[in-house]
Structure 1
Amino acid sequence: MPVEPLLQSQVPGHTPRRGKVRDVYDLGDKLVIVATDRISAFDYTLHPGIPNKGRLLTKMSLFWFDWLNVPNHLISADLAALPAEFQRPELDGRTMLVKKATVVPVECVARGYLLGSGWKEYQAHGTVCGLKLPAGLQLASRLPEPIFTPATKAEEGHDENISFEVMARTVGLETATELRARTLDVYTRAAKYAESRGLILADTKLEWGLLPAPGRELILIDEVLTPDSSRYWPKETYRVGASPPSFDKQFVRDWLETQPWDKASPPPELPADVVARTAAKYQEALDKLTG
């Protein structure tokens, strides 16, 4: 029997805040985060969802939290650690109990390669987030060294790149400097490991939070280094000058681009083969990284 995707979690007595993929339950001083099988593209949630996507994302985050060994929000991914009403079979493998933190209101992005919005800005101005880059770089070029390119956190629509100076005015220079250093450290170490497993980690987006006083410690929160927050490419097919295939929802985006859809009305239903190929890509990325 095919696995039915979990599009919404339901826990009696609790009302979650639903994001694009995650359902977040507030337990007071802790949160329960459920990774559903929702998938979004062009700012729309699509149907029918990708079976087991939430479990694959959770497994990858758990792997990286352990491997990176940096302060983070994870308390437990064991259902037995949760209140009884959360101990439901459909939540197994996709649920984390985490520390509650105040989210730093800036997306912390590290890039090792030139693609996406960074490539567009470079073509126009020779910069990415105001950082001057060498002339003559091509699409998907490896950068001389990884760069930190913060962005605003948009509740609706797309995040917008900002300069480090704007970030410093938002969160304070000391916090901005620490976040830049920590983000680049995570990216650099993870990229080196991924390359040893046959994957290029082109860029990643990290979220950080502050624990309550008196400590006010900065910790890594949300997901980490998954295909939903990072761009992974197969090392063996990487070529400068071309946009490499990535281990994410590329099949979904590519299929949508071929449809007579205006991106301003409800999107078409995803066909079974697109769902299956997308699920396989998420699984392949997990397998390559974790063996």
Structure 2
Amino acid sequence: MAGLSKTNITSLEKVYSGKVRESYAVGEDKLLIVATDRISAFDVILDDPIPGKGKVLTALTNFWFDKLDGVLPNHLTGIDPETVVKPEEVEQVRGRAVVAMRLKPILVECVARGYLIGGGWKDYCATGSVCGVKLPEGLKMAQKLPEPIFTPAAKAEVGTHDENISFERVVELYGEEIANTIRNATLELYRRAADYALTKGIIIADTKFEFGIDAEGNVRLMDEVLTPDSSRFWPADTYEVGTSPMSYDKQFIRDWLEAQPWDKTPPAPKVPEDVIEKTADKYREALRRLAGTDIE
């Protein structure tokens, strides 16, 4: 299976190209959002795509939108993406695109953390807190937190790091009502998803959500939801406190990159074929375990 690094849809106007997704205007109030097979690590887009990755992200996000219905409305319109492009462009969108409402993005990355790992672990070791949230003393790496915590970050331009901010800063930026809405939704979505995933043998250590505001002023869940790109998925049967667990996400390719003589600026090292294949397998395994389906 070859990977799709970028789209070329000439029948619609391209409005945005991110690390993974490309968006095209569908009329004035909708977007065609296509998930490519690009992968980024340390805010650098790698030259080598992960075959099928965009289809996995789309399938998992659609699964979660359905599974978590009732917390907040989402951005889906229900329009078949294959109907808004030319026949010769259908293959570029099949299984990897949605037609979504055009929302005003809330420029806060909403992170829910249920376990102490990654940047959160480093922060805790240095300060006893994670993004300003004070935690009990004596916690170990990968330990489950007493309660999930909300650690927002101000979204940055592509290629630069998001900046951790306090909840009070979110209130300053968007007002108390919206700040409370996205914090409460983030934690509720995480709790529901984490409880369900455990029944499938997967621990969701942390995840991030994005929200936007529609024409009526309602907050909606948007972008991707609980995918291997936006979450840490750990196999429950091998989980052990005090060690960094293996995972069904991009951590595998991150670990390979960490072992290379690379300063984390573009261009990234050429990734070996076996690392690409194993990464693709991990993404598909997450989809199979959580949603009980696979991509074509």
How much does 1:44 deviate?
1.6
- Which amino acid in 1 is paired with 2:142? A
Matches within 5 A, 1:84-103: 84=86, 87-103=89-105
What is aligned with 2:283?
282
What is aligned with 1:224?
225
Segments of structure 1 that go 5 or more residues without pairing to the other structure are: none
Matches within 5 A, 1:11-26: 11-13=9-11, 14-26=13-25
Q: Distance between the aligned counterparts of 2:247 and 2:88, measured in 1? A: 34
Is the alpha carbon distance of 1:193 and 1:98 closer, same or farther for their aligned partners in structure 2, counting shifts above 3 Å? same
What is aligned with 2:182?
179
Matches within 5 A, 1:79-118: 79-84=81-86, 87-118=89-120
Q: Is the 8 A contact 1:79 1:86 kept in 2?
A: no
Q: Give the stretch that moved more between structures: 78-87 or 253-262.
A: 78-87
Q: Give the stretch that moved more between structures: 202-211 or 245-254.
A: 245-254
Segments of structure 2 that go 5 or more residues without pairing to the other structure are: none
Q: Distance between the aligned counterparts of 1:77 and 1:60, measured in 2? A: 18
Q: Is the 8 A contact 1:74 1:99 kept in 2?
A: yes
Matches within 5 A, 1:171-210: 171-210=174-213
TM-score, L = length of structure 2 = 0.93
User: Does the alignment pair 1:41 with 2:44?
Assistant: no
Q: Distance between the aligned counterparts of 1:263 and 1:183, measured in 2? A: 30
Determine helix, strand or coil for the equivalent of 1:26. strand
Is the alpha carbon distance of 1:236 and 1:89 closer, same or farther for their aligned partners in structure 2, counting shifts above 3 Å? same
Determine helix, strand or coil for the equivalent of 1:174. helix
TM-score, L = length of structure 1 = 0.94
Poorly superposed stretches of 4+, deviation over 3 Å: 83-87
Q: Distance between the aligned counterparts of 1:108 and 1:77, measured in 2? A: 27
Q: What value does the CA root-mean-square deviation take over the aligned residues?
A: 1.5
Could you give the per-residue CA deviations for residues 143-181 of structure 1, whole angstroms, max 9, x where no partner exists? 111111111101132112111111111111111111111
Q: Distance between the aligned counterparts of 1:240 and 1:188, measured in 2? A: 20
Q: Distance between the aligned counterparts of 1:56 and 1:84, measured in 2? A: 23
Q: Is the 8 A contact 2:82 2:90 kept in 1?
A: no
Corresponding pairs, count: 287
User: Does the alignment pair 1:127 with 2:129?
Assistant: yes
- Which amino acid in 1 is paired with 2:269? P
What is aligned with 2:143?
141
